[in-house]
Amino acid sequence: MKTYDYAYRPLLAVDCTIFGFRDGKLNLLLVRRDIEPRRGKWSLMGGFLQANESLDEAAARVLEQRTGLKEVYLEQFKAFGEVDRDEAERTISVGYYALVDQEKAQLQLSTEFAAHWVPITDVPPLIFDHNEMVAAALNRLRHRATHEPVGFELLPEKFTLTQLQSLYEAIFGTSIDAGNFRRRLRKMEYLQRLNEKDTNSSRKGAWYYRFVPEDYAHAKRNGADFLLKP
């Protein structure tokens, strides 16, 4: 039974801002839009909500269909509903951001939509209000990366402390004092040093570490706060 026949029904979409990290740069995954208006222009990954799915399910579906990526970190961060944001028809879009290991993601990317990584500092003009979405997603990521260990989603399973510092410098767009940064890291019992070194950058090598989610959950239950920022 329909009870809201008198109500206006705009279209509802989801758009995914997908972040990756490689060679010291925070990157954004874009595609070429395959429909009008603005066919062929750079765009975020997007699609319309289907009748039988939640917003989270729609975002995961769009991400998989457009990139081949599954089971990645996805978080809803803002709705975009300006009346004229889509020139074709009134459309409200719910923004999500995703964090992926770019090395692994590269192996799964679909070639159908010309998915392409660009540095966050060199994002081209995007369709509609997608540049605004990127800015809002980056602000949300910066906040979350300060207070929660979401940044580790952008790193491979094992990483060096130099790589971790480089990631945070890329996220926040600023340099970090190495001494202060590492003093904070030494207090994090959920960072486990491995019995293995990265010898690519120096003869002495740098120890590999890994983030242990179970140890973090235990530390959080005991009142430990995650605070990591420039």
The length of the chain in residues reads 230
CB 103 within 8 Å of CB 22: yes
Q: Tokens for 117, please give them.
A: 């990584």
Could you report the per-residue pLDDT of 147-157, keeping only the tens digit for each? 999 999 999 99
Q: CA-to-CA distance for 87 and 65, rounded, in angstroms?
A: 24
Give residue 11's pLDDT band: very low, low, confident or very high (50, 70, 90): very high
CA 130 to chain centre: 15
Could you report the per-residue pLDDT of 26-56, keeping only the tens digit for each? 999 999 888 899 999 999 999 999 999 999 9
Structural domains present in the chain: 11-146 (3.90.79.10), 155-221 (1.10.10.10)
Please say if the pLDDT value at position 70 is more than 80.
yes
Q: CA-to-CA distance for 129 and 1, rounded, in angstroms?
A: 36
What pLDDT score does 41 carry?
93
Average pLDDT, stretch 198-208?
Answer: 86
Is residue 151 helix, strand or coil? Answer: helix
Put simply, whether the predicted model's pTM sits higher than 0.85 gets the answer yes
